[in-house]
Structure 1
Amino acid sequence: MTTRSGAARPSPGPTAPPTPTPPPPTPAPPSAPASRLPGLDALRAVALGLGIVLHTLAPFLPGTTWFTPDPVFAPAADVATSVIHLFRMVLFMMLAGYFGRLVLTRRGAAAYARDRTTRILVPLFVFSPLVLMSIIGIEELARRLRGDPDPLPPLPTGIPFWLFRDPAHLWFLWVLVQVFVLVLVVRAVVVACAGRERAARWADRAGAALVLPGGVALAALPYLVALLLQGTARYGVVQPSHLDVMASTLTCYAGAFVVGWLLHARPDALSRLVASWPAHLGAALLLTPLFVLLKDTGPIGVTAPVGALAGWAWCYGLVGLFLRALSGGSPRVRYLADSSYWVYIAHLPLTAVAQLLLARTGWWPSLQLLAAWALCVPLLLVSYDLLVRGTWVGAWLNGRRHEPVLLRRRRRARGRTAADGATGVRPVHPR
Structure 2
Amino acid sequence: MTATAATTSTSTSSASANRVHGLDALRGGALLLGIVLHSLLPFIVDAPWLITDSVTTSAADDGVVVIHLFRMSLFMMIAGYFARLTLHRKGLRVFAVDRLRRIGLPVIAFWPLAVLPIGILAVVGAAARGQQMPQAPPSSVHPVLAALDPGHMWFLVVLLQIYVIVLTVRAVLRRVLGAERATAAAELAGGWFSGPLGVLLTAVPYAVAVLLQGAPVDGGIHKPLSILPEAEVLVAYVGAFTVGYTLHARPDALVRLSRGRWVHLAVAVVTSAAVLYVIPTGNAAALAPVAALASAAWCYALTGLCVRYLNGERPTLRYLADASYWMYLMHLPLLLAIEIPLADLALPVIVKLLITWVVTFVVLVLSYHVLVRSTWIGGWLNGRRHPWTWPPMTTGNR
- On whether the aligned pair clears a TM of 0.5, the verdict is yes
2:315 paired with 1:331: yes
Answer whether contact 1:129 1:163 (CA < 8 A) is retained. no
Runs of 4+ in 1 over 3 A off after TM superposition: 31-34, 160-164, 407-410
CA–CA distance in 1 between the matches of 2:15 and 2:180? Answer: 18
Quick one: which amino acid aligns to residue 187 of structure 1? R
2:356 paired with 1:401: no
List gaps (5 residues or longer) in structure 1.
Answer: 1-30, 154-159, 413-431
Counterpart in 1 of 2:66? 83
Aligned residue pair count: 373
2:389 paired with 1:378: no
> Helix, strand or coil for the counterpart of 2:84?
helix
CA–CA distance in 2 between the matches of 1:409 and 1:318? Answer: 23
CA–CA distance in 2 between the matches of 1:409 and 1:136? Answer: 32
Aligned to 2:285, which of 294, 301, 310? 301
C-alpha spacing 1:191/1:313, structure 2 compared with 1 (3 Å): same
Counterpart in 2 of 1:130? 113
1:192-231 alpha-carbon deviations (Å, 9 max, x no partner): 1110000001011110011111211001111111011001
Deviates more, 1:234-243 or 1:336-345: 234-243
Give matches, 1:100-249, under 5 Å: 100-148=83-131, 165-235=148-218, 236-249=220-233
1:3-54 alpha-carbon deviations (Å, 9 max, x no partner): xxxxxxxxxxxxxxxxxxxxxxxxxxxx999531111111111111110011
Answer whether contact 1:138 1:349 (CA < 8 A) is retained. yes
Answer whether contact 1:389 1:402 (CA < 8 A) is retained. yes
Q: Greater relative contact order: 1 or 2 (C-alpha under 8 angstroms, separation 6 or more)?
A: 2
Aligned to 1:367, which of 351, 370, 374? 351
Quick one: which amino acid aligns to residue 213 of structure 1? P
Quick one: which amino acid aligns to residue 126 of structure 1? A
List gaps (5 residues or longer) in structure 2.
Answer: 1-13, 137-142
CA–CA distance in 1 between the matches of 2:393 and 2:25? Answer: 24
Answer whether contact 1:48 1:340 (CA < 8 A) is retained. yes
Aligned to 1:348, which of 332, 336, 346? 332
> Helix, strand or coil for the counterpart of 2:196?
coil
Answer whether contact 2:122 2:336 (CA < 8 A) is retained. no
Answer whether contact 2:205 2:236 (CA < 8 A) is retained. yes
- TM-score (normalizing by structure 2): 0.88
Larger Rg: 1
Task: Quote the RMSD (CA, aligned, Å).
Answer: 2.5
Counterpart in 2 of 1:282? 266
CA–CA distance in 1 between the matches of 2:132 and 2:217? Answer: 35
The alignment-based identity, stated in percent, is: 45
Deviates more, 1:351-360 or 1:102-111: 351-360
Counterpart in 2 of 1:67? 52
C-alpha spacing 1:32/1:372, structure 2 compared with 1 (3 Å): closer
The structure with the largest helix share of the pair is 2
Displacement after TM superposition at 1:276 (Å)? 1.0
Counterpart in 2 of 1:5? none
C-alpha spacing 1:399/1:409, structure 2 compared with 1 (3 Å): closer
> Helix, strand or coil for the counterpart of 2:225?
coil
Answer whether contact 1:94 1:259 (CA < 8 A) is retained. yes
- TM-score (normalizing by structure 1): 0.82
Counterpart in 2 of 1:269? 253
C-alpha spacing 1:34/1:382, structure 2 compared with 1 (3 Å): same
Displacement after TM superposition at 1:312 (Å)? 0.4
CA–CA distance in 2 between the matches of 1:93 and 1:401? Answer: 25
Answer whether contact 1:233 1:307 (CA < 8 A) is retained. no
Deviates more, 1:297-306 or 1:102-111: 297-306
C-alpha spacing 1:234/1:163, structure 2 compared with 1 (3 Å): closer
C-alpha spacing 1:400/1:230, structure 2 compared with 1 (3 Å): same
CA–CA distance in 2 between the matches of 1:217 and 1:34? Answer: 33
Quick one: which amino acid aligns to residue 175 of structure 2? A
Displacement after TM superposition at 1:295 (Å)? 1.3
Answer whether contact 2:113 2:330 (CA < 8 A) is retained. no
